[in-house]
Structure 1
Amino acid sequence: MKKLLLLDIDGTLLDTNKRLPDSAKSALEKARANGHDLAIATGRAPFMFKRLAAELEVDSFISFNGQYVVHSGQPIHKGAIDKQLLKDVSRFAELRDHPIVYMDEARMVSTIDFHPHISESIKSLKIGFTHPPEEQDFYLNSPVYQALVFCAREEEPAYHESFPDLDFVRWHRVSCDILPAGGSKAEGIKKLIKATGHALEDTIAFGDGLNDVQMMDLAGYSVVMGNGHEEVKKKADYITDHVDEHGLAKAFTHLGLI
C-alpha cells in the first residue's frame, strides 16, 4: 500500500551537524522508487529549506508548523497570524526587552538590529546568516505566518497566560515559535491529504521535537527518532535510532518501505 511519508527536518532528516546523511537520502530515493510519496513537515520557513527540498525532489510540504502548506509546488493553505495579535504580543515583548522575529514564506526580519539570543538561536539553524535585518513594522505590510520570541524558559509562562489566542512552542533554549492557537503540523497534514487523496491511515510521521507531538497523534503511524524529546517518544508507535546513527534509514527498513 502506497504511503505518504511526512518528514520533519531538524533532528530527523538533518543530523546534529545540520547535514543530510547519505543513508537518509538513499532511503528516501528508494522509498519513492517503491511508490511512496514524500512530504516535508517542519517548523521552518520555506526559504530555509528550499535547497534541501530541491535536493530531495520534494515539492509538497507543511511549513511554519502548519501555517503554510504547499502541494506539488502550489500553495494550498496560507494561515497568517492576525495583525492585531502581532501588535499586542510585540508590545508585550518590547516591555520585557524580548526581541521578536517575523517571517513570511520568503524572509525573516527582526524588531531589533542585534540581540545575542537571536544570533545564538538562528546560528543553530545553519541557514547562511545569524541575524535578520531590523524591520519593526514588517507585520503591518506583509503576512506573518510565524514569529519567534526570544526569552528564557522561566519567562515563557507570561506569554501563555496573556495570549490565549496564540501558541508558544519552545524550539531553543532562548526562543519560542509563535503560532495561532491550535496551529500545528497536524492541521497542515489534514489540508495536505485532502489535496493528495491519501487516507489518514496511510500516513507515516517521522519526527523528534515538541512541535511534532500533534503530528504523531494524528498520523496513521508515528516514528520518533532516538534523539527525540521524551514527551514525543511517548507518542511513538516505533522509536528508531539516533539521527546520527542512521536512524531514519533504519526506520524505513524496519517498516518495509525500502
Structure 2
Amino acid sequence: MTNKNVIFFDIDGTLLNGEKKLPTSTKESIFKLKELGHEVAIATGRAPFMFEDLRKELEIDTFVSYNGQYVVVKGELVYANPLHIPSLQKLAEKALENNHPVVFMDHEDMRATVPEHNYINESLASLKLDHFPTHDPHYYKGRDLYQSLLFCEEGNEVQYEQEFTDFDFIRWHPYSVDILPKGGSKAIGIEKAAEILGYPEEKRYAFGDGLNDIEMLSTVKNSVAMGNAEDIVKSAAQHITKSVESNGIHHGLKMLGLL
C-alpha cells in the first residue's frame, strides 16, 4: 500500500458543478485514480439515497454520508451516529409553532412535518433531486435518524442552537439548515473509514468546497479546497485547486501528483 492512497470527494460543488452535472474530466480522473490502484470514496452531507446513481456511475462503494453520521466501507455499514430522538421531537414541535418545517431523514427515506412548504421545495430543488419528502410528522418514532433539515430564514436558527445543545446546525441553503448530532462531522466519518481501509493519515486526501467541509479540510492531512469555495473554506485547506467548472478535480489531482 506504500504508493496507494484514499481520496474522499464531496459531491455538491466538488464532484458536481452548479448544474449538478459531473464534468467529463472529473469522471475520467476518478477512473484513472482507481486504475492506478488508489481508493476513491465520497464524503457528503447528502443522504445515501440522494447519490445512489452517482455511486453507480463512478463505481464507488465506500462513502461518508450525512456529514459523517452514516459510513459505509466496501458496501458494508461500519459506523452510525444517530440523532437524539427526544430532543429532536421537542425541536420539531417548537419549529412547527414557528412555521419552520423539519424533515426527518434515515438511511432510506425522508419525511416532513408539514404536507407542503415553499422553503422545502426551493431548498431541495437546488439539489436537482427527483425525490421529495412526503408528509409524516411522526417519522422519528421507532427508527434511527442520522440527520434532519430545519427550514427557516438565515438567522432564525440561532434560537434552536441556543436551546438544543445536543445538535450542531450547519446552514447549506438560504432556507435550510442541517441538524447533526453534536460534534459529528465528515472528519470523524473519514477517520472511521480510513482506519478500516488501513490508510494512515499521510495517505488520506480530501476535496471539498462547503461550510460543512471545513472540519474535514482542516483535519485530513492532504486537503484541497475547490476554487469555487468561500474564503473561510479555502483557509481551512492545505491546497486550493481551480473551480469545479474549470476542471478543478483534475487540476488538483495533478497538482498533488496523484495523476
Q: Which interval holds the TM-score relative to the shorter structure? A: over 0.9
Counterparts of 1:34-49 in structure 2 under 5 Å? Answer: 34-49=36-51
User: What residue is the counterpart of 1:70 in the other structure?
Assistant: 72
d(CA) in 1 for partners of 2:88, 2:161: 14
Counterparts of 1:50-199 in structure 2 under 5 Å? Answer: 50-129=52-131, 131-199=132-200
Structure 1: runs of 5 or more not aligned: none
User: What residue is the counterpart of 2:18 in the other structure?
Assistant: 16
Displacement, 1:240? 0.8
What percentage of residue pairs aligned between the two structures are identical?
44
Deviation string for 1:40-66 (max 9, x for gaps)? 000000000001001111100000001
d(CA) in 1 for partners of 2:194, 2:122: 36
d(CA) in 2 for partners of 1:124, 1:63: 18
Deviation string for 1:98-132 (max 9, x for gaps)? 00001111111100110000000010111214x41
Structure 2: runs of 5 or more not aligned: none
TM-score (normalizing by structure 2): 0.97
Displacement, 1:229? 1.9
Number of residue pairs the alignment of both structures matches: 257
d(CA) in 2 for partners of 1:155, 1:83: 22
d(CA) in 2 for partners of 1:229, 1:97: 30
d(CA) in 2 for partners of 1:239, 1:11: 14
User: What residue is the counterpart of 1:7 in the other structure?
Assistant: 9
| Residue from 4, 27, 40 that aligns with 1:25 | 27
Answer whether contact 2:69 2:80 (CA < 8 A) is retained: yes
Amino acid across the alignment from 2:66: F
Amino acid across the alignment from 2:15: L
Displacement, 1:27? 0.5
Amino acid across the alignment from 1:17: E
3-state secondary structure, aligned to 2:148: strand
Amino acid across the alignment from 1:139: Y
Displacement, 1:197? 0.7
Answer whether contact 2:84 2:166 (CA < 8 A) is retained: no
TM-score (normalizing by structure 1): 0.98
Amino acid across the alignment from 2:212: N
2:237 is the alignment partner of 1:249: no
d(CA) in 2 for partners of 1:66, 1:238: 22
RMSD between superposed Cα atoms in Å: 0.9
Moved over 2 A (4+): none
Displacement, 1:190? 1.4
3-state secondary structure, aligned to 1:6: strand
d(CA) in 2 for partners of 1:141, 1:164: 22
